[in-house]
Chain A
Amino acid sequence: MRSLWMLGGLALLAALSGCTEKPQITGKRTVGQSAFAGTGGGPYTASGWKAGDETSWEEHMRMRTQSGQNEYGRSAGK
């Protein structure tokens, strides 16, 4: 009797598994290179950071943002 219940349960599980939602993504989402990897050198690359070093790139970008866009950081007498 018990095995009958188990068999029935398994059959129900197998039948219901057809109702599960299938993943709707293609599974090949593109991922480009990280910016900190650099362009492999070249005349247009800004100096002051090391390609491949994430911390170096982040610090460089932070400094560039502050020095280029925050005039309150540049003017001495605020």
Chain B
Amino acid sequence: MARMKFICDAERCIECNGCVTACKAEHQIPWGVNRRRVVTLNDGVPGERSISVACMHCSDAPCMAVCPVDCFYRTAEGVVLHDKDTCIGCGYCSYACPFGAPQFPSSGTFGMRGKMDKCTFCAGGPETSGSAAENDKYGRNRLAEGKLPACAEMCSTKALLGGDGDVVADIFRTRVMTRNKGSEVWGWGTAYGKPSPGGSAPKATKS
């Protein structure tokens, strides 16, 4: 079974915010809610690095652990989703998440928190796949349409990779080995050391 993951290649990200725009447009996200954003380190300094950040769909998600109403669940594809009908908007998940993924719309009269909203890996929610109810609450369900997340598919430099963790890890490994830079970092061998079965690239054909 596929386990869906994102990887952002900081060597390629050019801070164009195309992923942010793609996400906003695809799911019609309201003002004040950013399911995905681009973070730049050492902005303006030569050698600055940018990465695109959203929910990382953790294997051992802290948001799931702290939710007092147990509204989170993990799909068979490894995507962490939540049920907005159960969410009480307490914000515990926001404090627990190391990536700042949970978002809270503040459109109420007194800026009160609404139901939590976050990246769904374009996998919708608990409602029937492709239904209007699902679309209204969680946005498009691209996975059920046989597509990958809009942010990853729209990324112009292919810095943001999204898909089956084995496959995107293999793509990233190929890049790093080809450019001969990056595999020296601590933990590389553990994370990307060995090709995974079924994850390697298909043979290129000359046209």
| Residue positions of A touching B, CB distance < 8 A | 25-26, 28-40, 42, 44-49, 54, 57-58, 60-66, 68-78
Contacts and interface: CB of A to CB of B under 8 A. Distances in A.
A33 B174 CA distance: 34
B70 interface: yes
Given A34-B76, A70-B171, A78 B204 contact: yes
A65 to B, nearest CB: 4
B139 interface: no
B123 interface: yes
Nearest to B198: A62
Range for the number of chain B residues in contact with chain A = 35 or more
B90 to A, nearest CB: 15
A69 B168 contact: yes
Given A25-B70, A61-B148, A65-B168, 8 more contacts: A30-B71, A32-B126, A33-B129, A35-B77, A35-B123, A49-B146, A64-B148, A70-B171
A37 B164 contact: no
A65 B171 contact: yes
Interface of B: 1-2, 69-71, 73, 75-77, 81, 83, 86, 123-130, 141, 143-148, 152-153, 158, 161-164, 167-168, 171, 174-175, 178, 198-199, 201-202, 204-207
A65 B70 contact: no
A35 B144 contact: yes
Nearest to A71: B158
A62 B164 contact: yes
